Each structure stands twice: as C-alpha cells, then as structure tokens.
C-alpha cells in the first residue's frame, strides 16, 4: 500500500461509525506514539494499532488541550450556527491543522482522547475542514456526508431495517441482500402542498453541497486557520440566492407560488416540518416544528448537554434596522469608527460578512449576528428555553437545514437585504452589457440521447425523470456487517444535453470569450408571464466557461455535465477504498470531472429544474458573451481552452486536485475566477425603462435568448451506473 493509499484508508477508517469507539481495520496501521496513552486517562490502544519505534516531535504530537473542544459533549447535536459550538469545533480544526504532516494529523485524530471522546459531529467537521484547508491533503477524499451520518438523511425506519438486513445475513436467510428502498417523500405526504418539494429539500446532493459550502467558508475561523476566502461574503449572498431561484423554479413546476420572505417575526410560521431523523444511532431525535409556532426569545441556560445561548427577537429587529440603515446610507461603520463605503465593487461582500455574520463582519457588536441567530431562533422555536429538554430542529445544522421549508423563507428575507442594496447601485450601462465585435447569433440545446417514444423533439427540449442510486449505510450505523447494507434512493435526474452557440467574431483576431448561461421560468404558477424585474431574480446560472472564438462564424459546443456550478454524485466509502488516490494532473490535463473534487458544488443531477409533464415547462435560456481579457482575475487562474475555467492549467498542482464547482464555491486558496459581480448581469435591477427581457437584450448583440422546454417524465433515467 502506498503512503497515499494508506492515508486515504486511514481517513475512511476514522470516519466509520463515528458515534462508536474507534476500531482500526486489521491492515491499517495508526502509529500512535507511546506518550499518547497516558495512564491517567486510562486509554487503551485500539486493536490493531502499533506503537512506533520512532519518536515524533513531542511538542507536536503530545495531545493538546481539549477542554474547549469538549465543551460540546459527545452524543449531542452540533450547530455550526451556534457561536460556542463553532468555537469548540475550530479549536479542533486548529489542532489538526497544526500537526506537521497529514500522517501526524491522522495519527492524532485516531487517538482515543480525540476520536472516542470528542463530539462526533465536531470530529467529522474538524477533520473534514482540516483536510480541505491543508495544502498537503488535497489528494485525499472524505466519504459522502450521508454515509458518515445516515441519520441526518434517512428516516429512523431505515436504521431498523438495516439492522434486520444484517440479522438476516447472520442467519443466512438470504445470500444476496436487497437494498432498503427509501421513498423520495418519506417525511410527509403530498396532502400538504409544501411537501411536494421534498424531493428537492431532502435531496442528498443538495444538502451535501450546503454542508460543504459552510465547511469551506467558515464563520468563525481566524486568520491563523484560513485566509479570508476571496469574496466570501458575496458568495454567501450569491450561493443562497441561487438556491432560492432554483427552489422557486421547482415550486412553479409543482403549481406553487414563489417562496415568500419570513420577516414578520411575531407572526406564526404556518409551514410545518417533521424531520423524522435521529442521530447518535437512534438515541437523539431532531425536533419537529409543528405549524403555527411563533419565534420567541432564546434563553438556554448553560447546562451539561448544551452550551447556553441567550438573545431576544428584539435583538434581531435591532440588527436588521442597523443593517438597513447602513444599506440606505451607503456605508457601514467599523468598530474603530472607520467608515467603509458600500460601493459596487466590494459592497456586496462587506454586507455578506455583516449579515451572515462572520468574523469578518465590520462590527459584530453593532450589526450583530442576524442570519446565524435566525437559524438558532428557528431551530429552538419549539422549546426556546429548553425547559422541555428538547433537542434542536434541523435548522440548527448546515447538513440538515435545507430540509425545512422555513430555511427558504428565512433566506428569502436575508436575500431581500442584499436586493435592497443592489437597488441602490446604478443599472448596468450599455457599455457593461455589450462586447464590440462579437455577436451571439443563437443558442440551442440538443439532447444527447435518441428520443423516447412520445417525445420526438431533439432540439430545445430537456428531459427530466428519476434516477435510483445506491448508497451504503453500514459505515454510518452502530453495528458492523460483513456485507454492505445498501439503500436505494430516488432522486431527480435529467438526460445529458449540449449547448450549441453560434457566434460571429467580426474582429480580425481570435478572442477568448466568457459564455454565461442562465435559465429562468417564463411564467408563474398560475400561467402569468413574469415581468423582467421578476424574472431576473429567477435566473439560474447553468454554466460559465471560456472558449476561443476565431474571426468569422463559430459554433461553440458545450456539454451539460461540464457545468461550472455542478459536481458529480459523490463516491461511496467502498469506491474510495478501491480507487487510486488522485495524483496531480499533467499540465493541461483535464480529467478532473469524475475523479477530483472536494465536495462543494451543486449536484449535477439537479443541474436543471424538474419541469412539468408533456409538453413541458417553458424557460428562457440566456447566453451572454463577455471578454475574458477583461473579466479574468489574474494570469495564473487559467488559460482559455474551452474547458473549465476554474481548475485546470494552474501552476499549482494542489489546486488541480480539488475540484470545486467554482461558480458557487470559488477556488480554494485562489481568487474567484471572474471579475464581474456574481450573478452578472442579473444581480442589479435594470433601468426603469426596461420592462421586458427583449428590451434588456435589444442593444446587446453579444446576448441571445431562446425559449426551451423542460419536460418531466415520471420514469427512471439512467445517466450513470449506480
Ligand atoms: Cu447556508 Cu443560512 O446559510 O444556511
């Protein structure tokens, strides 16, 4: 086993059954130095581990102070929105990042004081964060979060069925085990209209994306841990705005009105959510949120099982007022009195840090902790002082928050703050919206598959349906099994398609062009066409890429699975065990799609919204060409080759190994690869005279639009074997 393979296997081993005492596999060696087993803690070396003959530097591998890390006890839920929980988690991230080598870090992680005594959610959070942030671990992969914590994704019933499956294997009742079938609407029935959206809110890939995003863009980290990621606050705005646009497209397809902002905080929340999830192997449930509850002041005392937190809903009101004051005055004031103007270049970013609120907030004392405390207020709405000793609801954890309908209403409110700021900026000028010498004549989408009976069109039609994928449960449960325990989940899928863009370059030289592709519904749920002011907020980014356009006519082709917003379905524990670790690509290599990614990215099975049955749901497809020469951020990020504009051809191999989908996740340790504001050209309201999309694009030959349809077929579509 190579060193890389050993590290990869160690990571998988460490992430197995994290709620249970660590059990190293017989062939995986953790070289725990002797002094990490002090008799005072009574720790016993795990079976299979060996004691090293070498003496590592004592100041590094000595077990560090864990008091702060352990303030959130093992077996309890963890909230990355809770300041004290974050502090505990980051104390452990810091310990892991300070280990001199990856091997040291993994050996440290296996130490019984850490692996068996630290809160299991904090352990996974901290080790995942350290693996992403360390430059020397970029070729190593973590397993999908749903296999580490199946309890955060699958209802409790699945766990008992898994136990039955294992028992049947032991009794040899069945030689071949069947996967457990997980209903795509397990949490509720369609009798409640909001539950029609369960396939979106409870999707594995969507929730995994959200967890990874918050892992990569931590709120709490200090500079010794992470340099402020480039345009982090703006990404907070944009990534969540895009979630809302995508959710609205699904709502419209299901006959529902767009999501409404939750800003009347003394009004009851009518949309209920009953998660039916348990964690700690069934011992702890996530609280339900029945309809009609009203936000209350949070007053949770310090006690054994949770860290206390106290704030008033009035505090949220006050922070909102101060933030709106800043937006309308056009500036925020830092703690030291320095005035920071909210300009069109950095204003969104400054506001994002302020609203979320991260440690990069201009003044957290004054502008508060609005977004994070909203999550906390909602996750304890049922027991705001824990007088019933109830656990939090799903809004408290970034892995589960997107399951709850209130997530979208809360984020719609958060987004409304950004939109109020955007409305203070000048509309884009004709010069910003045009590109001399480049005409985008037309765009079409083409299906890659032959037409199925009943749907013969190939052009400007995208077919969606369901895909069944197998996930493995046994590594995340509290019992081991010699054969895998699998579940079959059903999730949205679409047929592969390609864009064909006709472009004329009337200059005399080849040009590197950025193509910006968006999609938005044309009509609302009642069939009323959207005005441009409404439709611009529904624009979903599908892709952004660079291609070279030669003088004269060009046909630019792009495949749907090359999108800059998506990543493929994550690999299982088993895949990762057998796969060779990623190795640095050859210069110019581009085989990153299926092998190298870090987990942040919209799931590619949800690239496009579901649409409706035959004849399909009409959407506007929008393509804009801008100049790469003007939009590129630096010379190192990429060269234009018509491939991904975000991960190839850098001088630094570590970056190539870790492919995030850059549009929503940026690039690790690098600049966001586009100078334009995120969401350009739809992030600002247009001039008042522009009321239709046609008028918006009429003076821009570098923009074209097409009407396409997305047709949902209630059948299984297979895009890749699972
Ligand atoms: Cu992602 Cu509120 O920020 O959940």
Three-class secondary structure of residue 16 per DSSP = coil
User: Could you report the per-residue pLDDT of 383-396, keeping only the tens digit for each?
Assistant: 999 899 899 999 99
Q: How far is the CA of 121 from the centre of ligand 1 (A)?
A: 18
- Give the number of the atom of ligand 1 that is nearest the alpha carbon of residue 214: 1
The secondary structure of residue 529, as a DSSP letter, is B
User: Could you report the per-residue pLDDT of 24-49, keeping only the tens digit for each?
Assistant: 888 888 886 544 433 333 233 334 44
Q: Please give the CATH number for the structural domain made up of 3-133.
A: 1.20.1370.10
Q: Round to whole Å and give the CA distance between 123 and 69.
A: 9
Please report the pLDDT score of residue 660 as a whole number: 55
Read off the pLDDT band of 184 (50, 70, 90): low
Which of 86-95, 240-249, 640-649, 713-722 comes out lowest in average pLDDT?
640-649
Read off the pLDDT band of 173 (50, 70, 90): low
What tokens appear for 364 in the block?
Answer: 């957290």
Phi/psi at 334 (5° precision)? -75, 165
Q: How far is the CA of 394 from the centre of ligand 1 (A)?
A: 12
User: Does ligand 1 have an atom closer than 6 angstroms to the CB of 684?
Assistant: no
Q: Round to whole Å and give the CA distance between 613 and 607.
A: 18
Please, what CATH class does the domain formed by 438-444+497-705 belong to?
A: mainly beta
203 neighbors 492 (Cβ within 8 angstroms): yes
pTM of the model: 0.91
Please report the pLDDT score of residue 453 as a whole number: 61
Please report the pLDDT score of residue 53 as a whole number: 31
Read off the pLDDT band of 555 (50, 70, 90): very high
pLDDT higher than 70, residue 599: no
33 neighbors 56 (Cβ within 8 angstroms): yes
pLDDT higher than 70, residue 176: no
HSE, CB side, 13 Å, CA atoms: give it for residue 454: 8
Please report the pLDDT score of residue 141 as a whole number: 86
Read off the pLDDT band of 479 (50, 70, 90): low
Where do the H-state alpha helices sit in 78-218?
A: 83-98, 102-109, 112-115, 120-133, 145-148, 156-170, 198-201, 204-216
User: Could you report the per-residue pLDDT of 122-142, keeping only the tens digit for each?
Assistant: 999 999 999 988 888 878 888
Please report the pLDDT score of residue 187 as a whole number: 59
Residue 356 designated active-site? yes
What tokens appear for 616 in the block?
Answer: 């399909």
Please report the pLDDT score of residue 39 as a whole number: 32
Cβ-proximal residues to 336 (8 Å cutoff; 6+ apart), any chain: none
pLDDT higher than 80, residue 462: yes
pLDDT higher than 50, residue 509: yes
Q: State the burial class of residue 716 (Cβ atoms within 10 Å of its Cβ: 0-12, 13-18, 19+).
A: exposed
Please report the pLDDT score of residue 34 as a whole number: 47
Q: What does the pLDDT average to over 496-509?
A: 97
600 neighbors 647 (Cβ within 8 angstroms): no
438 neighbors 503 (Cβ within 8 angstroms): yes
Strands (DSSP E) found in 250-352 = 278-279, 284-285, 298-300, 309-311, 331-333, 339-341
Phi/psi at 29 (5° precision)? -100, 125
271 neighbors 194 (Cβ within 8 angstroms): yes
Which helix (DSSP H) or strand (DSSP E) does residue 249 occupy?
Answer: helix 232-253
Residue pointed to by tokens 């992470």? 226
pLDDT higher than 60, residue 590: no
User: Does ligand 1 have an atom closer than 6 angstroms to the CB of 375?
Assistant: yes
User: Does ligand 1 have an atom closer than 6 angstroms to the CB of 412?
Assistant: no
Q: What does the pLDDT average to over 179-190?
A: 70
Proportion of the chain above pLDDT 90, given as a percent: 61
User: Could you report the per-residue pLDDT of 47-78, keeping only the tens digit for each?
Assistant: 444 433 334 444 444 677 898 999 999 988 99
Same fold, 193-422 and 438-444+497-705: no
Q: What does the pLDDT average to over 685-693?
A: 94
Coarse DSSP helix, strand, coil percentages of the chain, rounded to the nearest 5 percent: 35, 20, 50
Please, what CATH class does the domain formed by 193-422 belong to?
A: mainly alpha
pLDDT higher than 60, residue 216: yes
Q: How far is the CA of 238 from the centre of ligand 1 (A)?
A: 11
Please report the pLDDT score of residue 597 as a whole number: 43
**b/e burial code for range 7-33 (CB count within 10 A of at least 16 → b):** bbbbbbbbbbbbbeebebeeebbbbbb
User: Does ligand 1 have an atom closer than 6 angstroms to the CB of 121?
Assistant: no
Q: Round to whole Å and give the CA distance between 199 and 520.
A: 20
pLDDT higher than 60, residue 421: yes
User: Does ligand 1 have an atom closer than 6 angstroms to the CB of 152?
Assistant: no
Q: Round to whole Å and give the CA distance between 503 and 260.
A: 39
Q: What does the pLDDT average to over 79-101?
A: 91
pLDDT higher than 70, residue 457: no
Please report the pLDDT score of residue 249 as a whole number: 98
Q: Round to whole Å and give the CA distance between 13 and 5.
A: 12
Residue tagged active-site, from 306, 356, 495, 570: 356
Domain boundaries, the chain: 3-133, 193-422, 438-444+497-705
User: Does ligand 1 have an atom closer than 6 angstroms to the CB of 401?
Assistant: yes
- Among 443, 664, 452, 571, smallest CA distance to 12 is for 571
Please report the pLDDT score of residue 470 as a whole number: 86
Q: What does the pLDDT average to over 588-613?
A: 69
Beta strand 552-559 with 497-505: parallel, antiparallel or unpaired? antiparallel
- Give the number of the atom of ligand 1 that is nearest the alpha carbon of residue 374: 2
Query: For residue 556, how far is the Cα from the chain centroid?
Result: 30
Beta strand 566-567 with 331-333: parallel, antiparallel or unpaired? unpaired
Other Cβ atoms closer than 10 A to 650: 18
The DSSP-derived string for 475-497 is GGSSS--SS--EEEEEEEEE--E
Please report the pLDDT score of residue 570 as a whole number: 73
Cβ-proximal residues to 325 (8 Å cutoff; 6+ apart), any chain: none
What tokens appear for 721 in the block?
Answer: 């074997």
pLDDT higher than 70, residue 592: no
Bigger pLDDT: 460 vs 189: 460
Beta strand 617-627 with 511-521: parallel, antiparallel or unpaired? antiparallel
What tokens appear for 170 in the block?
Answer: 């032991």
The DSSP-derived string for 347-382 is HHHHHHHHHHT-TT-S-HHHH--HHHHHHHHHHTTT
Other Cβ atoms closer than 10 A to 191: 6
User: Could you report the per-residue pLDDT of 611-659, keeping only the tens digit for each?
Assistant: 999 999 999 999 999 999 999 987 544 433 333 333 333 334 434 444 5
- Among 305, 686, 361, smallest CA distance to 531 is for 686
Q: Round to whole Å and give the CA distance between 369 and 359.
A: 10
Please report the pLDDT score of residue 159 as a whole number: 74
Q: How far is the CA of 241 from the centre of ligand 1 (A)?
A: 11
Q: What does the pLDDT average to over 340-350?
A: 97
Give the total residue count for the chain. Answer: 722
Query: Among 240, 243, 416, which residue has the most ligand 1 atoms within 8 Å of its CB, making it the best to mutate?
Result: 240
């Amino acid at each position: 086993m190579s060193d890389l393979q050993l590290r990869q296997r160690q990571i998988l081993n460490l992430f197995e059954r994290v709620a249970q005492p660590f059990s190293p596999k017989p062939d995986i060696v953790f070289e725990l130095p002797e002094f990490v087993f002090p008799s005072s803690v009574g720790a016993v070396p795990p079976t299979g581990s060996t004691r090293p003959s070498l003496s590592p530097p004592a100041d590094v591998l000595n077990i560090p102070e864990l008091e702060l890390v352990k303030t959130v006890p093992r077996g309890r839920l963890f909230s990355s929105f809770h300041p004290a929980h974050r502090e505990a988690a980051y104390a452990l991230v810091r310990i892991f990042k300070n280990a001199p080598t990856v091997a040291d870090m993994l050996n440290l992680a296996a130490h019984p004081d850490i692996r068996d005594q630290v809160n299991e959610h904090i352990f996974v959070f901290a080790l995942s964060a350290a693996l992403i942030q360390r430059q020397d671990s970029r070729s190593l992969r973590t397993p999908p979060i749903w296999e580490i914590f199946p309890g955060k994704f699958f209802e409790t019933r699945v766990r008992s069925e898994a136990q039955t499956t294992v028992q049947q294997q032991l009794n040899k009742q069945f030689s071949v085990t069947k996967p457990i079938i997980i209903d795509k609407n397990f949490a509720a029935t369609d009798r409640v209209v909001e539950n029609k959206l369960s396939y979106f809110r409870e999707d594995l890939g969507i929730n995994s994306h959200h967890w990874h995003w918050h892992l990569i863009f931590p709120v709490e980290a200090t500079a010794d841990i992470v340099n402020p990621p480039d345009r982090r606050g703006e990404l907070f705005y944009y990534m969540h705005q895009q979630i809302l646009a995508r959710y609205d497209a699904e709502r419209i397809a299901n006959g529902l009105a767009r999501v409404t902002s939750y800003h009347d905080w003394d009004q009851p929340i009518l949309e209920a959510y009953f998660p039916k999830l348990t964690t700690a192997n069934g011992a702890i449930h996530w609280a339900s949120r029945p309809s009609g509850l009203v936000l209350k002041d949070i007053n949770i005392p310090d006690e054994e099982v949770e860290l206390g937190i106290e704030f008033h809903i009035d505090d949220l009101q006050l922070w909102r007022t101060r933030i709106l004051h800043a937006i309308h005055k056009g500036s925020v004031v830092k703690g030291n009195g320095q005035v920071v103007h909210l300009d069109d270049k950095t204003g969104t970013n400054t506001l994002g840090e302020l609203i979320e609120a991260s440690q990069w907030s201009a003044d957290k004392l004054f502008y508060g902790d609005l977004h994070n405390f909203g999550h906390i207020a909602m996750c304890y709405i049922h027991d705001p002082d824990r007088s019933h000793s109830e656990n939090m609801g799903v809004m408290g954890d970034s892995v589960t928050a997107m399951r709850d309908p209130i997530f979208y209403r809360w984020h719609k409110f958060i987004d409304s703050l950004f939109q109020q700021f955007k409305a203070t900026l000048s509309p884009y000028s004709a010069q910003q919206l045009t590109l001399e010498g480049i005409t985008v004549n037309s765009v079409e989408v083409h299906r890659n598959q032959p037409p199925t009976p009943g749907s013969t069109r190939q052009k400007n039609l995208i077919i969606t349906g369901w895909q069944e994928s197998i996930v493995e449960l046994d590594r995340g449960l509290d019992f081991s099994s010699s054969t895998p325990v699998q579940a079959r989940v059903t999730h949205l899928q679409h047929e592969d398609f390609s864009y064909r863009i006709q472009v004329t370059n009337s200059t005399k030289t080849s040009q590197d062009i950025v193509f910006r592709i968006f999609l938005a519904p044309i009509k609302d749920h009642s069939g009323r066409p959207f005005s441009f002011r409404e439709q611009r907020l529904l624009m979903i980014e599908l892709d952004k890429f660079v291609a070279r356009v030669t003088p004269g006519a060009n046909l630019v082709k792009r495949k749907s699975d090359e999108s800059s917003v998506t990543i493929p379905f994550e690999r299982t524990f088993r895949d990762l065990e057998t796969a060779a670790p990623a190795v640095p690509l050859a210069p110019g290599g581009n085989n990153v799609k299926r092998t190298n990614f870090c987990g942040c990215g919209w799931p590619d099975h949800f690239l496009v919204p579901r649409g409706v049955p035959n004849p399909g749901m009409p959407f506007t497809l929008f393509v804009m060409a801008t100049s790469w020469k003007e939009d590129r951020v630096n010379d190192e990020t990429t060269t234009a080759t018509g491939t991904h504009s975000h991960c190839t051809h850098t001088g630094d191999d570590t970056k190539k190994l870790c492919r995030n989908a850059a549009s929503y996740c940026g690039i690790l340790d690098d600049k966001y690869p586009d100078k334009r504001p995120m969401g350009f050209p739809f992030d600002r309201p247009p001039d008042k005279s522009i009321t239709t999309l046609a008028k918006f694009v009429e003076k821009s030959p570098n923009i074209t639009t097409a009407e396409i349809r997305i047709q949902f077929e209630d059948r299984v579509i297979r895009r890749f074997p699972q």
